[in-house]
Structure 1
Amino acid sequence: MAEIKHDFLTWPWQRWAAERPSDVAISLGDQTKGAQTYTWAEVSTQVDVFAQGLVEQGIKRDQLVAVIADNTIDVVWLILAIIRIGARYVGLNPKLSFAEIQQQLAMLDNHYLWSDRDIATEQLTGQEITLRQPEVSRMVPVTWQEHRPVTLTLTSGSTGSPKAVVHSPESHLASASGLLSKMTFNAEDSWLLSLPLFHISGLAILWRWLYRGACLVIVEKALQQQALSWVTHASLVPTQLQRLLDQVPTQQPIALKQVLLGGAHIPVSLTDKARSAGIDCWCGYGMTEMASTISVKQADESQGVGNVLPNRELFLREGEILVRGKSLCLGYYRNHTIFLYFR
């Protein structure tokens, strides 16, 4: 199995803040109207500030913080700050009914809860917290450990009740490095945060950004289609790409260079048109337990889901397809315990 190594000896945002402090790490809002930006130095500072605020509210290592929200900059700050203090993040789909949210939180038995919407949090599991600066500056005595459990992601529950899949920085970064050995994504590039952070595909975008030290672009849902005009990378469904190509006049340069397509049938006519516009399209197969993408290929007329990426292995046993590798999750979370069903 081909293996891609990463060499993070500290928190990824701290590494990039040390190496490229003035590079833009986050672009927030409409770029045509002057988007707000954060450099890596500012990201590193902001994460530590919010981490201190979480510690001040009593959150301890290995405790579980549930977040119910759509993608915003606040959710990104929360995820990074939660990880920074050694706690664990789990996102819930805000479109679920109140009863479904109650049920999922009861199953998780989370310690803390944050939401950006007006819901009856007193009827939900977990003490409500806020994203804020500390009243008194303090040290955050948690060091970088790539094997530490940091995120929980709920599966779709298509084969039964949803399972809470536990990943570490090692598995997330292994997933990112394997995909980026095929897709070109450099430090000067930008990836649109177009998928929800309560889903493994959204978290995968976050960890690709952290792995490469590039720019993460965050906009409101209403601006996502427009944002495709100024980002270099995006994860899309085919109709989003089709709309972009329909709107852009022939011969006009497009910033978008690489697209990871999924969620629906991908017409060859679409990928041919994208290629003519200078956009490379990719598709593949993935799963929550493997931190997103397992195999990938250029989206074209060829069949299949591509070749297995570095840091993953695929093999057959008694008629079943099995996968393993560096991107494999630690296990499933239940009753405050990680059940190591794998490895």
Structure 2
Amino acid sequence: MQPNWIKQRAYLTPNRIGLRFGGESWTFQQLHEEALYKARQLAKFVGRGERVAIFAPSTPELIKVIYGCMHLQLEMVLLNGRLSTEELAYQIEDAQVAMVLAAASDVHKLPQNIEVMTFEQLIETEAIEINIATEWQDNQTISIMYTSGTTGFPKGVRQTVQNHSMSAISSALNLGITEQDVWLCTVPIFHISGFSILMRSLLYGATVCLYEKFDEQACVQEIVAGRVTTISLVSVMLERVLSEMERLQVQAHPNFKTVLAGGGSIPVDYLQRAAKVQLPVVQTYGMTETSSQTATLASIDALRKIGSAGKPLFFNEVRIQGTDEPFVEGEICIRGPHVTPGYIGRFAERASTENGWLLTGDIGYLDDEGYLYVVDRRADLIISGGENVYPAEIENALLAHPSVLEAGVCGLMDDKWGQVPIAFVVLKQAVTEAELQAFCHQRLARYKLPKQFYFVDSLPRNGANKLLRRKLIELL
């Protein structure tokens, strides 16, 4: 059993700021009271423990609705705002939700013939008297998020009270926490990276500085002014923050502690640039099935172990399938209290683990000190002439070129080699294919060199800004 986090946080630190947005702020006591009122309004339509879907941008109203649902112990299916109507229809139907709660501005994206309650309608709803639970069961499902669906149909992943709390505690033991912590949240709340910031806020008593969308200029202003201590970013967002800091010729304020960088490997060039502007970057590795972080590189090791995702956090274990030897690549397997107990809908009967271990589908290795290195997604692996070619390695080489803003690599069928790598590049400034080929030739084995370069305006990404390599081929 665990205490109701919202009620407990308001009891412990009622006057501490829990949320900032624009020029407004809310204490944890105010958030608790507003969430309780939301729960009383929601109770007119849904019963305790039922399942609802939520579809809205990252605003204070969304936070209040989420906390209201938590008071009612509702299972929340967080819908990705970038999905198509067909993709949303699949998830809503698969989850069998009692209703969809949505911002009025986003209702037009939803499929027709479903029951929708807008946030605006909810505000006008009369509240009823209810009793909220003061304790939650460890196995109670808080959130459900659908995987990216790299193969087949997306799976609805359950994330429980224990999953979220153990993830947050493990992170705190690694990064440390203080009463002055302010987490800048510009990643979407519907993704685990954003939602986990809310959970950490309640458990730590940290302020969430919320932005509806990622804005590198606003992020840099917050970081340079010392108004925030931590930010979660993926690689493409980090590069934009770095470019803005370099343009302004500024450095991070001494108050700023950490960029938590996830969503794939971070190019060495980015880490070196970050060091020059006093921006501490720690790489982390996690996934929807692990309620955020599994392994994180301590800041003290950032330059000594460049490219590593670090060691497993305190309660977590990582092994490489089929080997106990260092530096041998294989599928990354994870065990710990942060691992999902299972799925919902069409995958409800599928076990999430084998003998207690989650098989991630990611390829990596452990070095001789036990540090994890994530090489690539198994599904994205290119096998060319019998050699394994990892797209991330080629992308990182390309991203080191000063003219390259973004890079994506995938495999193309080839009669001679089976597959060959091809690259899609978004440029900062003009560069020729021959120049890029020569640049890569200095850094990569011949069989890893892209056979073709395609210059594009943008790369396909999901709601968390992760590159969707499986969709690159569609750009042709």
Shorter chain as denominator, the TM-score bin is 0.7 to 0.9
1:301-340 equivalences under 5 Å are 302=305, 303-316=307-320, 318=322, 321-334=332-345
- 2:107 counterpart of 1:140: no
Q: Deviations over 1:72-114 (max 9, x none)?
A: 1122112111111011111111222212211221222211102
Q: Distance in 2 between matches of 1:23 and 1:96?
A: 36
1:254-269 equivalences under 5 Å are 255-263=255-263, 266-269=266-269
Q: Distance in 1 between matches of 2:21 and 2:114?
A: 32
Aligned to 1:295: 295
Aligned to 2:3: 10
8 A contact 1:110–1:126 mirrored in 2: no
1:196 is matched by which residue type in structure 2?
Answer: P
Higher relative contact order (CA 8 A, sep 6+): 1
Aligned to 2:397: none
8 A contact 1:154–1:164 mirrored in 2: yes
Q: 1:183 aligns with which of 175, 179, 198?
A: 175
Q: Distance in 2 between matches of 1:336 and 1:263?
A: 24
2:31 is matched by which residue type in structure 1?
Answer: V
Aligned to 1:42: 30
Shift of 1:140: 2.9
Q: 1:266 to 1:314 in 2, by over 3 A?
A: closer
Aligned to 1:271: 271
8 A contact 2:230–2:256 mirrored in 1: yes
Q: 2:73 aligns with which of 86, 89, 94?
A: 86
Q: Deviations over 1:152-195 (max 9, x none)?
A: 01001113211001011211111111122121332211111221
8 A contact 1:259–1:280 mirrored in 2: yes
Shift of 1:301: 5.5
Q: Distance in 1 between matches of 2:62 and 2:250?
A: 38
Q: Deviations over 1:103-141 (max 9, x none)?
A: 221222211102221417572544535432652441234
Q: 1:295 to 1:36 in 2, by over 3 A?
A: same
Report which stretch shifted further, 44-53 or 187-196: 187-196
Q: 2:154 aligns with which of 148, 151, 162?
A: 162
Q: 1:50 to 1:204 in 2, by over 3 A?
A: same
Q: 1:128 aligns with which of 117, 129, 134?
A: 117
Report which stretch shifted further, 250-259 or 159-168: 250-259
Q: Distance in 1 between matches of 2:52 and 2:117?
A: 9
Structure 1: runs of 5 or more not aligned: 1-7, 30-34
Task: State the number of aligned residues.
Answer: 330
8 A contact 1:105–1:124 mirrored in 2: no
1:21 is matched by which residue type in structure 2?
Answer: P
Report which stretch shifted further, 46-55 or 107-116: 107-116
1:233 is matched by which residue type in structure 2?
Answer: T
Report which stretch shifted further, 125-134 or 14-23: 125-134
Aligned to 1:192: 184
Aligned to 1:69: 56
Shift of 1:315: 3.2
Q: Distance in 1 between matches of 2:275 and 2:111?
A: 52
Q: 1:208 aligns with which of 189, 200, 214?
A: 200
Q: Distance in 1 between matches of 2:110 and 2:174?
A: 44
SS in 2 for 1:182: helix
Aligned to 1:3: none
TM-score normalised by length of structure 1: 0.86
**Identity percentage over the alignment?**
25
TM-score normalised by length of structure 2: 0.63
8 A contact 1:245–1:274 mirrored in 2: no
Q: Distance in 1 between matches of 2:187 and 2:349?
A: 26
Report which stretch shifted further, 144-153 or 239-248: 239-248
Greater Cα radius of gyration, structure 1 or 2: 2
Q: 1:119 aligns with which of 108, 111, 126?
A: 108
8 A contact 1:219–1:227 mirrored in 2: no
Shift of 1:256: 3.0
Aligned to 1:285: 285
8 A contact 1:52–1:139 mirrored in 2: yes
Shift of 1:199: 1.5
Q: Distance in 2 between matches of 1:207 and 1:323?
A: 22
Aligned to 2:218: 226
Structure 2: runs of 5 or more not aligned: 223-227, 324-330, 357-476
Aligned to 2:385: none
